[in-house]
Amino acid sequence: MDNELHELAKSIVAIQKQAALQTLNYWKPEAENIIVSQSKDIERIEYTLDMLCEVAYDDEVLRIFKRLCRYYYDIDPLATAQHVNTYREMWDNKEDNSDISSK
pLDDT digits (tens, 9 = 90+) for 18-54: 888 888 888 999 999 999 999 999 999 999 999 999 9
- Residue 101, CA distances (Å) to 44, 52, 70, 82, 98 in order: 23, 16, 10, 14, 8
> What amino acid is encoded at 36 in this protein?
V
DSSP string covering 25-37: HHHHHHHHHHHHT
pTM for the structure as a whole: 0.78
pLDDT digits (tens, 9 = 90+) for 47-81: 999 999 999 988 999 999 999 999 999 999 999 99
CA atoms within 13 A on the CB side of 18: 6
Q: Residue 88: which of 60, 66, 64 has the closest Cα?
A: 66
